[in-house]
Structure 1
Amino acid sequence: MMVEKHPARLGSISFGRSKTVCTIRSISAFGAALDVAADEQVPNEFALTVIPDGDPRRCAVVWRKEKRIAVAFY
């Protein structure tokens, strides 16, 4: 069985006047798994944009573990 691997994508997390870059590990129509810098303060709700050409999507944090964040789109 052949498994397709997709490279990680870059994303932009926007909240208020702040922006930070993240790595999108997986993404679906319902949510995404993101990696952020360990010292990055990310709020519970923000806009996620796939770089370079995605539209911002509002999302809410479902869970956090170290530098990994899972979000649901709304």
Structure 2
Amino acid sequence: MDEKRIAPRIRALKAGRIVYNNGFSTLDCMVRNISETGAKLAADNLGLVPDAFDLQIDGQQRRHCEVRWRKLKEIGVHFVE
């Protein structure tokens, strides 16, 4: 399989929070890997997450994300500047 990522991802195990609905809805998640351009997130009920949202990672600035792929308990996101 050819690698299609712009930047290499680094394994991670960080707590994150998916924020959507103008900040009125949140979902806790785990950041499983991360790069300058995106991340893989894991959580239950990811089917409820919209195609675009903000991601808050422990102690870091919020990043706006767009979903690139979905599985039952994982999603891959691209950071949008």
Name structure 2 gaps, 5 residues minimum: 1-9
Aligned residues: 69
2:20 aligned partner: 15
Superposition TM-score, scaled by structure 2 size: 0.77
2:68 aligned partner: 62
Q: 1:32 aligns with which of 39, 61, 70?
A: 39
Over aligned residue pairs, what C-alpha RMSD do you find? Answer: 1.8
**Percent sequence identity over aligned pairs:** 35
Q: Is the 8 A contact 2:17 2:56 kept in 1?
A: yes
Superposition TM-score, scaled by structure 1 size: 0.84
Q: 1:49 aligns with which of 56, 59, 71?
A: 56
CA distances 1:14-64 after superposition (whole Å, capped 9, x unpaired)? 00110110000001100000001146511100000112x111000000000
Provide the rounded CA distance (Å) in 1 between the counterparts of 2:46 and 2:69: 17
Kindly provide the amino acid, as one letter, of the partner of residue 76 in structure 2: A
Deviation at 1:7, TM superposition (A): 5.0
Taking a change above 3 Å as real, the CA distance of residues 7 and 39 of structure 1, as seen in their structure-2 partners, is closer
Name structure 1 gaps, 5 residues minimum: none
